[in-house]
Structure formats: structure tokens, C-alpha cells
Amino acid sequence: MKRVLITGAAGFLGSHLCDRFIKEGYYVIAMDNLITGDLKNIEHLSTNENFEFINHDVSEHISLDGKLDYVLHFASPASPIDYLKIPIQTLKVGSLGTHNLLGLSKAKGARMLIASTSEVYGDPLVHPQTEEYYGNVNPIGPRGVYDEAKRFQEAITMAYHTYHGVETRIVRIFNTYGPRMRLNDGRVLPAFIGQALRGEDLTVFGKGDQTRSFCYVDDLVEGIYRLLLSDYELPVNIGNPDEITILDFCKEIIKLTGTDQKIIYKDLPVNDPMQRQPDITKAQALLGWEPKINRADGLKITYAYFKTLTKEELTKVDHKNFDEYVK
């Protein structure tokens, strides 16, 4: 039985990857220090004999017994609310954490896939964004801690590939949504749905003319799985190119939830990208992958998930106190 280590396993994407690899017949070692992850995302796997959970910060030395075939590095704060509160931890998990996991992969002879991001493109001046675009990033802006952590992560991963011969894969993930997203993570989709469910006005930043492209989580996981098992070592965009303005998206959420709240406008955050749309030509050609679930269907599933949350979860403003994680 092949063994896979998934970091950030109690998070949104990590937990869905755990499900997929269990389904595919792998032994899954899930690792997370729960700084932004939540055990409830993987508790349904706790009794599975092919699943184990290790509470560990990958920024510290990692020791694992037994063979290891694959490593998927998905540990990182991924929402602006989080990485603005824990900027150094965000930088460390992308640098020290990646270094530790590459060392582990080298020692075990494992193939490693890293979760990079469309944020490596910054506020892009090229549209849509291809993998060859170098990006337009402010390294010292408030979002720079996340963007640059991911850019460094790509650089050290390629260095381990070229210098040490470690088998590596790089996925650049665009906006993704689905069940297990945190309602209070500050990203636009859970923010809109949360406001609608609580009966609050929906907040649009700027004029709402900035664009995003939303990919349903099952489609993303399929793309990641195909990339891991492919022979391609350079970055690949995985996302849904169906682009929409934030204002139009807000109107879709109002229609979906049947709410009658009004839209209110606030100032645009610093360095917030004005447009996001993946060019997925590479994924189509190399992996035979493209998204299958349209936004209307994906939103219905996601909304149904959010409606199952308790009143306490619905009204929780702060994710958690990060003091114990800040050293």
C-alpha cells in the first residue's frame, strides 16, 4: 500500500485531499498543528485503519518512520485575515516548512507536490495568467508575507529538484470553494454567504469591478491528483477560468440565498488584485483536466453546507487566538 503525507490536513483543501487518497487506496498520514485547521474536517476519518493524524508544526524538524511515497505540502494560512495576524508563521511554513519536507522527501525517495497559488502573480498585468508570467508582487506589502512565502517555496522546490534530483510537482491554485471552508476566513465567498445567513448587508470592497474565478473543490482535487501522478515538474495552473466581477458574484449570492439585504461598499484593501483568471491550457494538454462543476451547482452544495452550521459557528467572528502559536 502506498503511503502519502499530507500537511495542512485539517484545513479546507487538505481534508478533501485526505478523503481522495483514502478513496484511492492509500495509507494517509495527516499532519497539522491546527493553527488554522480544524479537527472536525477530518474526524470522519479517525476510525479508518488507513489514516493517522499527527499534530505537528512542519516548520520544526519532521521525523517519520516507515516508507513514504508521496508528500503533499498544503500547510499554510491561506486567508488574508490569518496571514495578516500571523505573518511570521506564514513565512516560516512556506520556507522552513518546505525545506524540512523537501529534506524528508529526499531521505525517503518520495515525490513531493507543493501547493503554490495564483498569488505568485500578485496584481497581474497579464490577463489571463499563464505559468510563464513572472508576476507583479509587492514583497513588503501586507499580503507580501503570503505571496513571497509561496514564491520562495517554488524556488527552493525547483532547487531541490535540479540539484538533489528530488521528484517535485508544483500546483498554482486559483480561488477555490466548497464545503469545509471557514465561514470567517475573510475570503469573499464565505464572507457573502455568512452575511446573508446572519441577515447582514453584503460588503463589497471598492466598486466591485475586480474579478475572481472560482473553482469547486472536487475539480481542484482531481487536478492535483492528476498532476501528482504526471511526469511534469514545472508549475501548472489549476483553477476555473469562468471569470466574474465581485459585484455580479455578490448578486448571485443574494439570488441563491433569497435574502433581501442591500449591498454596502467599503474601501479596497491594500494590494488586493484587480483581476484573477487562470490560463489552464497546460492542465488541459498535460493532464487532460478541466473543471466540470459549474458555479451555480457548486454554490448550491456549498450553501447547503453552510446552512448546517450551528448558530455559534455562524456568529463566530474571530477564528482563534493565535497567541500560543506565536513564539
Give dist(CA 76, CA 83) in Å, integer. 9
Q: Hey, which bits of 217-290 come out as E strands?
A: 236-238, 243-245, 263-266
Which is the catalytic residue, given 26, 27, 146, 177? 146
Q: Does an H or E element contain 3, and which?
A: strand 3-7
Is residue 232 among the annotated active site residues? no
Give dist(CA 11, CA 3) in Å, integer. 20
Phi, psi of 217 (to 5 degrees): -60, -40
Find, among 214, 73, 223, 225, the residue nearest to 152 by Cα.
73
Give dist(CA 7, CA 285) in Å, integer. 28
Find, among 44, 3, 47, the residue nearest to 21 by Cα.
3
Q: Which residues contact 248 (CB under 8 A, 6 or more apart)?
A: 208
Q: Does an H or E element contain 85, and which?
A: helix 80-85
Helices (H) and strands (E) in the chain, counts: 10, 13
Q: Does an H or E element contain 197, and which?
A: helix 188-198
For 203-219, give one letter per residue: b (16+ CB within 10 A) or e: ebeeebebbbbbbbbbb
Phi, psi of 238 (to 5 degrees): -125, 115
Find, among 6, 16, 7, 295, the residue nearest to 180 by Cα.
16
Question: Which residues have a catalytic role annotated?
Answer: 146
